[in-house]
Amino acid sequence: MSVKDVPKAKLKKFDCGTEVLNEFLSRYSLKNDTLGIGKTFVAFDETEETVGYFTLATAQVVYKDIPDEYRNKLPKYPIPSLRIARLAVGKDLQGKGIGKWLLAQAFIKIIHVAEITGLYFIIVNAKETSKGFYEHFGFIKFNDKEQSYFLPVDTVRKAMQS
């Protein structure tokens, strides 16, 4: 559900254990949505408690940051991308597959965007604690970027078709 359709009280109750992610959801996600900076989507359980959220925003990838095996077939200007700007799961539900489900929902939305506009990469700046999560799903480190990862949109598209 889009953040603009969620009562503010529900956003304030969310706790993923990382204050900056909690604060983003409760204080900034709706404003960013309204301004068109990022779109946040919130997931609920059967009791209508917030279980997690993700935020998508447009981005570009600088040519020099792309590993050689991808760079060689691309033009030398910034490559259109979509950033998973935030992804968080409630503290009590971590490790139960909610993050995987949220990532799948983000992928579905990203594929829809890729059908109507130029979009080559999905990018994420992973926290130290979430690097393994993104690597597990095939995200690849950028050159010289310690916590920045990417996945070609075409990889996701092919996976969803199989």
Digit-by-digit pLDDT tens for the chain (162 residues) are: 777 777 787 888 899 999 999 999 999 999 999 999 999 999 988 888 889 999 999 999 888 888 888 888 899 999 999 999 999 999 999 999 999 999 999 999 999 999 999 899 999 998 888 888 999 999 998 877 678 899 999 989 888 877
H helix and E strand count, the chain:
7, 6
Give the pTM. 0.90
pLDDT on residue 87? 96
Is 48 exposed, middle or buried (CB count within 10 Å of its CB: 0-12, 13-18, 19+)? exposed
Is 131 exposed, middle or buried (CB count within 10 Å of its CB: 0-12, 13-18, 19+)? middle
Q: Residue written as tokens 């990838």?
A: 61
3 state SS of 141: strand
pLDDT on residue 71? 85
Q: Are 122 and 84 in contact (CB under 8 A)?
A: yes
Sequence-distant (6+) residues with CB within 8 A of 137 are 100, 103, 151
82, two tokens: 């979509």
